[in-house]
Structure 1
Amino acid sequence: MAKVRLLIAEDDVVIAQNLAFSLEELGYEVCAMVSSGEELLLEVHRHNPDLIILDITLEGKLDGIDTAAILSRSSKIPFIFMTALSDKETIDRAKQTSPHAYLVKPFDIRTLQSSIEVAIHNASARQQLPVGVSSETSAPPEAEITNYLLHHALFVKVRNRLEKVDLQDIVWAEAQDIYCNIKTPQHLYLVSHSLKNLEQRLPGKDFMRVHRSYIVRLTAIEAIEDNNILIGGKYIPIGNTHKEALLNRLQIL
């Protein structure tokens, strides 16, 4: 029988390593360890674990709950929260993501093992439901909107609030698997939309797809060197199928 594959998201390296060692002694396979929500979202589709053990306090802009909310809209991989936080506000936030278990530190490894086995069993049972039947009573993913387009701005979820990002401040966007990064002069945002989806939300008169992995704001272009665009010190590749269309939109002397 194949081993159950686990991904651990924990910002304390020592805790993560000790946890991985204990789980491997129990017969599990730890396929990856990450310390931030952003890293988890990039690695999860590469490793495709059977379950994620997710600390709520993580490095980066996304905490464990924010990460779980994004993950649950694009994946059916079950996850377990582990945290030292047991206040009502944190628990209420965590409940919105429908975790398969919530363990308050300190806990013993046998409790974690039981939670893993129950979570995997329940996740498997949910996936075997007939088409059209759902085990959840919450709204469908389409209703769980975290990014809104309102005329000249996007609202991007950062932790427990929505931050306004003016379209005129966006200089480029980069694909990250099924997510994408949005870059402004001050910030780099990871959003739970594909680059194709974002492209449909950005005005074509200001933005252009220049590569399968990049969209740029035309007025932000500082230079073009060989097959690269320079924006804010970053070199962005120009795809062969996009180069002619890009040059046609620029005033070249």
Structure 2
Amino acid sequence: MALVKLLIAEDDVVIAQNLALSLEELGYEVCKTVSSGEELLLEIHQCNPDLVILDITLEGKLDGIDTAAILAKSAQVPFIFMTALSDKQTIDRAKQTNPHAYLVKPFDIRTLQSSIEVAIHNAALRQQPETQPNNTAPTTEPADNFLLHNSLFVKVRNRLEKVALKEIIWAEAQDIYCNIKTQSHIYLVSQSLKNLEQRLPAKDFMRVHRSYIVRLTAIDAIEDNNILIGGKQIPIGNTHKESLLSRLQIL
């Protein structure tokens, strides 16, 4: 389990520090605060944030909108604008960069928290393919489970927690929900196993039963019609057994 990692670009040092403290109290990780667009572009790959909170008015030659335009092309990291400027010209400029959310100062921390969740949700939707297999329409991600880059963002109580795909061992259907098991946690998420299957990379994960998906590299043994993973027995469905065996190196 990892916290959602944020990078803050704000030219007022006091505001930046207070914002960072408030976000950390809410359970986010603030990896860096910067005061200029140039500094942000230098730090973005070092910090590798999940989201950038970006003031439009910044120190240096690049304002927040100029910085966001470069960020969108080079790093593809989702970002939120925050600004005291709400005039039409500024908003029209900002819209050209396709921000994932927009906040007008002053705002309270709960509004910011909601905007962070909306921004991650919007970023996840933008990464979905336009069509799903069999030419069906894309599936809308539930409002509290987002897949972005190589991580799944899961709503736990009042915050988002980041679960790296490489940490997932298996997933189990629970009616219209499913459990996701990692080395240290089990998360109950509000989407079906079928929807989750479409999000997980097929090279690493496989449906082995109508109620189970497993990470192939996590399999410890296969005994009769069961997979053993960390002491748990997972049944192998008759329709999946041949495909499973064909993907394993059997001597």
Q: TM-score w.r.t. structure 1 length?
A: 0.51
Q: State the partner residue of 1:8.
A: 8
Q: State the partner residue of 1:110.
A: 110
Counting only pairs closer than 5 Å after superposition, residues 84-99 of structure 1 correspond to structure 2 as 84-99=84-99
Counting only pairs closer than 5 Å after superposition, residues 189-228 of structure 1 correspond to structure 2 as none
Counting only pairs closer than 5 Å after superposition, residues 173-192 of structure 1 correspond to structure 2 as none
Q: State the partner residue of 1:49.
A: 49
Structure 1 runs (4+) deviating above 2 angstroms are none
Q: State the partner residue of 1:66.
A: 66
**Take 2:98 and 2:25, find their aligned partners in 1: how far apart are those partners?**
29
Q: State the partner residue of 1:120.
A: 120
For residues 23-72 of structure 1, the C-alpha deviation after alignment (integer angstroms, 9 at most, x for no partner) is 00000000000000000000001111000000000000000000001111
**Take 1:78 and 1:34, find their aligned partners in 2: how far apart are those partners?**
17
**Take 1:112 and 1:18, find their aligned partners in 2: how far apart are those partners?**
13
For residues 102-137 of structure 1, the C-alpha deviation after alignment (integer angstroms, 9 at most, x for no partner) is 101000100100010111122122223259xxx9xx
Residue 75 of structure 1 deviates from its aligned partner by 2.0
Q: State the partner residue of 1:32.
A: 32
Q: Which has the higher contact order (CA 8 A, sep 6+)?
A: 2
Q: Residue 30 of structure 1 aligns to a residue in which SS?
A: strand
Q: Letter of the 2:21 partner, please give it.
A: F
Give the count of matched residue pairs. 134
**Take 2:114 and 2:124, find their aligned partners in 1: how far apart are those partners?**
16
**Take 1:126 and 1:31, find their aligned partners in 2: how far apart are those partners?**
24
Q: State the partner residue of 1:23.
A: 23
**Take 2:104 and 2:86, find their aligned partners in 1: how far apart are those partners?**
7
Q: Letter of the 2:22 partner, please give it.
A: S
**Take 1:128 and 1:70, find their aligned partners in 2: how far apart are those partners?**
22
For residues 196-246 of structure 1, the C-alpha deviation after alignment (integer angstroms, 9 at most, x for no partner) is xxxxxxxxxxxxxxxxxxxxxxxxxxxxxxxxxxxxxxxxxxxxxxxxxxx
**Take 1:59 and 1:42, find their aligned partners in 2: how far apart are those partners?**
14
